[in-house]
Amino acid sequence: MYNKYMPSQLKKYVSIKPNVMSGMPVIAGTRIPIERIYYLLKQGYSLDMLWEEYPWVDKKKIQYAVAYLVKAGMDAFEKTQKVQTAV
* CATH (domain of 54): 1.10.10.10
Report the number of distinct structural domains present in the chain.
1
Would you say residue 3 lies in a domain? no
Q: Which domain holds residue 61?
A: 8-86
pLDDT confidence of 32, banded at 50, 70, 90? very high
Would you say residue 58 lies in a domain? yes
Q: Per residue in 35-71, pLDDT tens?
A: 999 999 999 999 999 999 999 999 999 998 888 888 8
Would you say residue 81 lies in a domain? yes
Would you say residue 80 lies in a domain? yes
Query: Does position 87 have pLDDT exceeding 60, yes or no?
Result: no
> Which pTM does this prediction carry?
0.75
CA angle 27, 25, 41 (to 5 degrees): 65
Query: Does position 15 have pLDDT exceeding 60, yes or no?
Result: yes
CA distance 1 to 53: 23
